[in-house]
Amino acid sequence: MGGRRIRELVNLLHVAVLLAAPMAGAERVIIDTDCGYFGDDGSTLVMLLRTEAVQVEAITIVSGNVWADNALRYTKEITRLAGHGEIPIYLGAEQPLRHTLPMAEQEKRRWGPMEFRGAFDEPRPAVTEPLRRVAAVSEIIRRVERDPGQITIAGLGPLTNVALALEERPDIAGKIRRLVFMGGQLRVKGNSTREAEFNFWFDPEAASAVLRSAIGEKVMFGLDICNRAMLDKKGFDEIVKVETPVTERFREDFGVRYPGFLKNAKAEVSLWDALVAAWMIQPRLFTRPEELYLDVETDFGPMYGKVKLAGADAEPGATRVSMMNNLNYAGVYALFRDLLREKR
């Protein structure tokens, strides 16, 4: 093979390595999501796919807002709309570790009313038994094992997949760079039951296992801060006035489905998961974190899924959770608006 041919092959190899390598300095992220038609999960996917601050390496799917098989379909549609159909997506846990529909029915009967039950109010999925081995979990383990200390998990739904990965391989807790997640609440009321926020209520056992884990850094966006990040009609209008395939889907979901800005100008909705993206892109927009040992109530009763201070009886080896409390909402909204309405 002549010298020229070898040089060509070396150049091709060089380009391939550059394309495979993450952008210099970008945080390497696996997004774990219970994405519905669009909503806060879809908005967060678009933000993280579009920012230079993050390299989305994979997306894993979990049941929550909707059953995982529907979340998989919606996530594929949204990543394609955002021009990133190349990102690998892996199906994860269809059922929570223990919580079941009959249990949710009992909770509604005995301790209701309940505000939001997510997939439990959707038609039953094909898979009704908790599975232990799912592609998403194997993929989280594989990627974290391959690049220890380099992979961040962005948790946007119930923490079932993360808990299953830790259950299968407890040692990976020390190899995950950090977990940045939306879930729980401490000093405000819940939004599933009075006591529990939805992501934690849907799978309390998973939330407890993850909060008690040894993952080096756990950054929590609970309802305490999410309730201070409310999108209103004016903010909605600013985004939909720029017509793109993404803003069209955003308009249909936020405008017609929930919270229905086009039917009720006084509606408002939290940015919830989008705070995870905003923090990863511009952490200085957030201040006053509290470093706490936290756990979640797993006794089946009116407190099921409620966050509790772990204090002195914290799990040996458990790391503290950095719970965010304060934000510059104008700055967060500007990031949300600009990334969502970007013409790509």
198/333 with CB nearer ligand RIB: 198
**Contact residue for ligand RIB among 42, 64, 259, 305 (CB under 6 A):** 64
Least Cα distance to 42 among 263, 269, 254 occurs for 254
Q: What gap in Å lies between CA 106 and CA 302, rounded to an integer?
A: 10
Kindly identify the residues of this chain, within the stretch 41-60, that bind Ca ion according to CB under 5 A. 41
Q: Binding of ligand RIB at residue 221 (CB under 6 A)?
A: no
Kindly identify the residues of this chain, within the stretch 149-168, that bind Ca ion according to CB under 5 A. 156-157
51/270 with CB nearer Ca ion: 270
CB of 19 vs Ca ion, minimal distance in Å = 31
37/198 with CB nearer ligand RIB: 198
**Contact residue for ligand RIB among 32, 57, 94, 197 (CB under 6 A):** 197
Q: Please choose, out of 30-38, 94-102, 139-147, 169-177, the segment that lies near Ca ion by the rule CB under 5 A.
A: 30-38
Chosen from ligand RIB, Ca ion, none, partner binding at 92 (C-beta under 5 to 8 Å by type): none
Q: Binding of ligand RIB at residue 75 (CB under 6 A)?
A: no
Chosen from Ca ion, ligand RIB, none, partner binding at 191 (C-beta under 5 to 8 Å by type): ligand RIB
Q: Please choose, out of 26-34, 170-178, 263-271, 330-338, the segment that lies near Ca ion by the rule CB under 5 A.
A: 26-34
**Contact residue for ligand RIB among 120, 198, 279, 336 (CB under 6 A):** 198
Q: What are phi and psi of 31, to 5 degrees?
A: -95, 125
CB of 121 vs ligand RIB, minimal distance in Å = 13
81/196 with CB nearer ligand RIB: 196
| Residue 310, amino acid | A
195/197 with CB nearer Ca ion: 197
Q: What gap in Å lies between CA 194 and CA 226, rounded to an integer?
A: 16
CB of 157 vs ligand RIB, minimal distance in Å = 5
Other Cβ atoms less than 10 A from the Cβ of 112: the count is 13
Q: Please choose, out of 23-31, 38-46, 170-178, 302-310, the segment that lies near ligand RIB by the rule CB under 6 A.
A: 38-46
Q: Binding of ligand RIB at residue 41 (CB under 6 A)?
A: yes
Point out the residue whose Cβ comes nearest to ligand RIB. Answer: 198
SS3 letters across the chain:
CCHHHHHHHHHHHHHHHHHHCCCCCCEEEEEEECCCCCHHHHHHHHHHHHCCCEEEEEEEECCCCCCHHHHHHHHHHHHHHCCCCCCCEEECCCCCCCCCHHHHHHHHHHHCCCCCCHHHHCCCCCCCCCCCCCHHHHHHHHHHHHCCCCEEEEECCCCHHHHHHHHHCHHHHHCEEEEEEECCCCCCCCCCCCCCCHHHHHCHHHHHHHHCCCCCCEEEECHHHHCCCEECHHHHHHHHCCCCHHHHHHHHHHHHHCCCCCCCCCCCEECCCHHHHHHHHCHHHEECCEEECEEECCCCCCCCCCEEECHHHCCCCCCCEEECCEECHHHHHHHHHHHHCCCC
Strands 54-61 and 27-33: parallel
Q: Please choose, out of 18-26, 159-167, 196-204, 206-214, the segment that lies near ligand RIB by the rule CB under 6 A.
A: 196-204
Q: Binding of ligand RIB at residue 272 (CB under 6 A)?
A: yes
Q: Please choose, out of 168-176, 195-203, 259-267, 288-296, the segment that lies near ligand RIB by the rule CB under 6 A.
A: 195-203
* Residues engaged in binding Ca ion (CB under 5 A): 34, 41, 156-157, 273
* Residues engaged in binding ligand RIB (CB under 6 A): 34, 39-41, 64-65, 156-157, 182, 191, 197-199, 272-273
